[in-house]
Structure formats: structure tokens, C-alpha cells
Amino acid sequence: MIPEGIAYGGDYNPEQWPEEVWAEDVRLMREAGVNMVSVNIFAWAFLEPREGEYDFARLDKILALLHENGIAADLATPTAAPPAWFFRKHPQALPVDRDGRRLSYGSRQTFCPSSPAYREAALRITRVLAERYADHPAVVMWHVHNEYGCHNAECYCDASAEAFRAWLRSRYGDLEALNHAWGTAFWSQWYYDWDEIIPPRATGAVPNPTHQLDWRRFCSDALLALCKAEREVLREAAPAVPATTNFMVMYNFDALDYWRWAPELDVVSNDHYLRSTDPESQIDIALSGDLVRSLAGGPWLLMEHSTGAVNWQPVNRAKNPGELRRNALGHVARGADGIAYFQWRAAKAGAEQWHSAMLPHAGTDSQIWRDVVALGADLKALAEVRGSTSPASVAVVWDWNARWALELPSQPSESVRYLDMVRAWYEPLWRSGVAVDFVHPSADLSRYRLVLAPALYLVDDAGAENLTGFASGGGTLVVGFHSGAVDTNCHVRLGGYPGAFREALGVSTDELFPLLPDESLGLSGGGTASLWSERVAPAGAETVTSYTSGPLTGVPAVTRYTYGEGVAWYLATHPDPETLAGLLDRIRREAGVEPVRETPDGVEAVLRRGEDADYLFLINHGDRDAEVEVRAGATELLAGKPVGAGAVTVAPGDVLVVREP
């Protein structure tokens, strides 16, 4: 069973250290409050030194040591890093890049996801591992692989081409349907034989967009098939032990459609690292946490983040004082029932030797170690928060298919980036303390008052009907520019923009006018617009804001339309942050959406709801004391003392967690 309360730990790689270090490791883990670690993630070469020959002596000792010290194991299948002997025997399993170069082994994830040899070897080691440790008392969870697709999301080899064709046959049935879906009448791309279809390898001009989109879908599904295959082997051996794999819902990864992945896991977990150039990385933590919680449908586990610097950005800096604590508790606030780091002990050799860890190079006489121990005490004090939910009345539509399609080549503007648009709309809600879920276009929207679709360039008919039906049924729908433009096959919806949403929005656009990087337009009521503009003609909608400069002067930039029993807004441009915040604030107030709690600027307020109490997380990102009203009878959990009635004071850089009856 996963430890009670909040799980705490990290990746534990004792194979990197002599055995005499292990006793010190577990002693320090207990001192820090660690109750669960991930083990065996990159140990394939030690478990199977030669094909079919196994050595579990080291892992047996490690699991026994953990169990004797009351530390649970999240036991990984080691399949993210096949050993050198495998590639010497099966060089065809190495991945091929878009330009046709076969890559070498010597790092991790150096395999083709469609390789039969890799699949056979991965399932073999998984089966042997599962049968040996199915009933081990230390093992509370299976950790399938590690960061699927982090380095090998796409392989363009002949085996991948064959698997891609099989995937397409399953999707379309026959070539006529595929040719129609891909629009292959353009540029004489019509296919007469399945074997003519290849991956979208490097070519002289722009590849077919639907070909590229289906390739992204296939690549996600190919890795998902591997994950499911390993999970089934584990389930056969130990049906009562839950399985997870660590997602990468973070700014620099978009390879997998996690809406398809999440239902296949017993526990959803995520890895999250900060962008060093992000001046307000706390917003990225919140956005990622809300998205992972939405994928999980409730609490989730943070499987990896960093105590300090990472090693793979251009400049890797340590975290500022208090940042480790704020980051970790920010994830807990957004639904994480476990906090774990890469890794337990900082490596002295290897590719990640300059990556921070819970036990740094400096040892226990270090600020990181003191922070790690203090965080362990905090998480122990928050044990009762585990399992609580996060109510929200606002949903933001998120779809990986739309993201992939929007960022294909030959768009009206390459400056329109999916995550940038979503974050721009999410940030004002975050600053206002409004709770947010993320939803797939097909999701049940009945519990929401307000649904935002900032960048839904691609949407299928069912998704469009679901969203417009939400508005006609009494909800408030807000749609961003260039949304609804294409269908599931990436075909432009004819008749004017914004395609699938024209009727519900009460507008029609006949021409797009993306703006240059340094170009902006004035808006009525103040503020400016950048990035995008279009010639909107109202078809029943009222004009809320119009352009006051440029060739579209007087043309609507923001509209509002009563649609059925609800309201549909259209933002046909990208207002400056202050103007966008004011507009979204007006919209959410009209929709009856209130913040979790009124707070001063710079103070993040997040609510988790338990059966008997609410848990109010207050994180002060500012540089001055902040007072926040709380309910009578509240208790400050981290301090273990009653608050009484009235307000609590949150010091600069501090975090309070208030239990309210």
C-alpha cells in the first residue's frame, strides 16, 4: 500500500554507489521523513548483464533494506535504458531521425518504439522482475518505464513506417478514406498502395499537414502500446499492486496525448521542472498541477522535480531561499498527494552529475538538506489533506491534437503558440485566485459556469457541439481567435472563420490579418492588441471592443452574443495582459464565478476540499506581509495551532495551510 499521508521521497539509484553507502542513505531518509522512493529505473544492465542471464542480488538487498527501515518502494521496470549488449545484438532497434540518420546507443531511450526486438526484450525483463517481486512487502507501486517519449518520441525507420501503416489501416480502413482525410489530391500526393506511405521524413517542401498530424497521433499511441503491454505483464503477476508511469506535463514537452494515457494508469504521476528564464515560474507550477489533476480526475503524485538546479538548460542556477518549499507545497495545493525529487543522492559521475538532489554534493551541512528535512516535517503535518479534492467552476479546454495542429508549418502566423495562449488566459484567473480545471473538448461540462477555449484551432464535430451546447444550455463560453478553424483531419471548415463556432459566437470573419512581431493596434476603452487581428462581421453579436488604429479601425475585436440560454464571447485578437485580465475578470463575474478567497497581490490561494474540512493553501510570492480572511474555528496545520476568527498573516515567501471546518 502506498504510504499513508503525503508520500515523500525521490529516485533512489544505489547502484551508482558502493554498498557501504546504502545504510547511510536509509538513515538519512528516515531523518528527512522519506517514506517512499523509486528504485531500479535505470538498472537493466545490472539485472540482465547478458541476454537471459539475471542477477537480482543487489536489488534484493536494496528492497530488504528499504523495508527494514519502513520505506516503501515504487519499483520501476528498467526499460527506459536498454544495456549495450542489446544494441550490439539488435542494431536495427536503434532509432532513426527525420533525416535518415541512425542514432547510436550511449545515453537513454535510444530505442525505436516500434522495434519488435525492443518490445520482446522489454516485456521479458518486466515479466521476470514482476514474478520475482510481486509479493515483496516493500513494493507498493509499479513504476512503468520512465518519461516515455522524452528522447525518442519519433523514430523514422522502416519498422516505424510499417507500424505507422498498420495504425493507419486501423484508423481509416481503406486507402480511399485515407486519401480523403489527408487531402492527397493536393500536390499529386494520392496513394494507390499502402506501401507508398512513409513517415513524414525530411523533404524539400512543406509536408502534408494531416500526414504530420496523424504521425504525431501514431507516435503517441506507439509508446502507449508499450506502456500498456508492460502494465499488463505487471498486472498478471501482481493484480493488487497499482501501476503508474511519470508524465511530463511541463513547458517543453508535448509529444504524448495524455488524455489517452491517463485512463490506462492506476495512479497518475507527473514530472515537472521549471524554466530558468521564467520570472514567475509559480504560474507554470499551478497550470501544470491543475492540468495533471484534471487528467487524473483527482489527486495525483509528483514523481520528479528538483531541489535546486537542473543540468540541461543553458544556465542552471540554484533555487532562491524558500523556493524549494513553495514549489513543493504549490504542487500539493493543486492536488499532489506525493512529492518526490530527482534524485535522492546527487551523482558524482554521469550525464546528470550537476543535477541537484535531496542529498547534495555538499552533504548534510547544506541549505538544501535543511530544506529537505523541513519539508518532510511539513508534509507529515499535512497527512490529513491526502485524498481531498479541488472544486472548480471554470474549465479551460486543452487538447494535444489542437496543439500539434496549431504548431504545424505554414500557419497564418508562426508566432501563435499553443501554450503561450493558454497561459496568457490562465494567468489572470490564477492572479484572481479562481480555481480552474482543464478539460478535453468532449468532457462533461455540466458542473462548470465558465468554459474558456483559448487556442482550439482543431476541434472535431462532437467537441464543437459539446462546447456550443454548453453555451446554449446556459453556460458562458469564451473562444479565442483561430479556434474551430479546422476539423479532426486538419481540413479548413469552409464558410468563414471561426469555423465550427461561427453560429454560437454570432460572428463571421472573411479574412485574417496576423500582426508582425513589433506591431500593435489600439483598442476602444484603452489597451492594445498584438499578434493577431481579423475582419470580423457581427451576425447578431454585440461589439464589446473594437480596433482604434490600423486598417481594421472600427472593426470588432471582442464580441458578446446571447446564444440560447447562455452567452458566447469571441476574442478575435490578443489584448495586452492588463486588458485581457480586465476582460476575463468581467466575464467571470458575469458568469457568477468567485475566487477561492480574496487575497492581496502576490498571494496564491488554493482550496482542497475533504469530507470534514476545507484546506486553504496560502502561498505568499510577494515581498511583504499579507493578511487573508479565514473562517472561524480554523487551524494552521503546519504550525499545529488554532487560528481563531478573522485573518491570518502570511509572511513574505511563506506558506500557510489553514484547516477550515
Q: Which residues are catalytic?
A: 147, 304
Tell how far CA 46 is from the center of its chain. 32
The cell numbers describing 130, all together, are 514482476
- Report yes or no: 633 and 661 within 8 Å, Cβ to Cβ: yes
If we measure between CA atoms, which residue out of 418, 154, 390 comes closest to residue 294?
A: 390
CB count within 10 Å of CB 485 equals 26
CB environment 298-327: b (16+ within 10 A), e (fewer): ebbbbbbbbbbbbeeeeeeeebeebbbbbb
- Report yes or no: 199 and 156 within 8 Å, Cβ to Cβ: yes
User: What are the angstrom distances between the C-alpha of 20 and each of 546, 565, 574?
Assistant: 71, 70, 59
- Report yes or no: 471 and 563 within 8 Å, Cβ to Cβ: yes
User: What are the angstrom distances between the C-alpha of 340 and each of 36, 103, 357, 570?
Assistant: 8, 32, 10, 41
H or E stretch including 144?
none
Residues pairing with 14 in the sheet: none
- Report yes or no: 479 and 425 within 8 Å, Cβ to Cβ: no
Q: What whole-number distance in Å separates Cα of residue 68 and Cα of residue 63?
A: 9
644 phi and psi, to 5 degrees? 85, -155
Task: Please report where in the chains the cell 477555449 appears, as a residue.
Answer: 453
DSSP assignment letter at 619:
E
DSSP letter string, 435-465: -EEEE-TTS--TT-SEEEES---B--HHHHH
